[in-house]
Structure 1
């Protein structure tokens, strides 16, 4: 049984970090995509109002 207070190995910590970074990059892509859609919607609204 592993000691819950034991510090992770450098390898495990690095693996966790890479996993977190990958997740953060995915989230950023979703945010960027939503932002682009919002910008397009606003541009369409501006052209319709003219």
Structure 2
């Protein structure tokens, strides 16, 4: 999780990613875009809206 978070944003900690996974909070728009870009998809696709 630490490596994944660091790829998204240098300020993301593993606990933050864990909270995303468990629905305690959600990534902001900038981080959602970074995650989608890593996977080569759109944010809509990432969120299951496309």
Relative to the length of structure 1, the TM-score reads: 0.35
- Structure showing greater relative contact order (alpha-carbon pairs closer than 8 Å, 6 or more residues apart): 2
If each structure's helix is expressed as a fraction of its own residues, which one has the higher value? 1
Higher-Rg member (1/2) = 1
Relative to the length of structure 2, the TM-score reads: 0.35
